[in-house]
Structure 1
Amino acid sequence: MEIDGQKQLAIDLLIQGEKKTDIARQIGIQRTLLYDWMKHPEFKDRMEAQMFALDEPFYGYADPVSGAPSRNGGRFKVERVKE
């Protein structure tokens, strides 16, 4: 899968915490297509790389990579480990 402009925009918006329905509407695709993209290893890898390149922790209400809701019903936090 090539990460084109639409996919990159989707990644950026997911990282910002936008709702998947709103992202799909904004970039002009079906929500199910966004979920399909999110399953591809290349999409996941790009998104993870961008999240871990941020200087601050990512917070959201769901795991940004898998889309799974947080287990405690609260916010999901991705910790970065610097070596």
Structure 2
Amino acid sequence: MNAEHDANAAGQPEDAGAAIAERTLEEARRRLAALDDLPTADHVAVFDELHRELSGVLERLDQDGGAGGETGGS
């Protein structure tokens, strides 16, 4: 169990990034599901807002080297 703990400790920034990504996606799914209750004309505003928010999260994750960041490639 110590080896597993050590592996998790080494991956904490990635785990934090993955947690942020998961929460963001859950919220996006919830908001997209709520589109059924809105007039079609209001959908574009929701899409635009979600796009801005998702882009911002991806940018922060890339800057922090979290989930979706650079992989190192060696």
Q: Same fold, TM exceeding 0.5?
A: no
Question: Whose helix fraction is larger, Structure 1's or Structure 2's?
Answer: 2
TM-score, scaled to structure 1: 0.27
TM-score, scaled to structure 2: 0.29
Query: Which of structures 1 and 2 has the larger relative contact order (alpha carbons within 8 angstroms, sep 6+)?
Result: 2
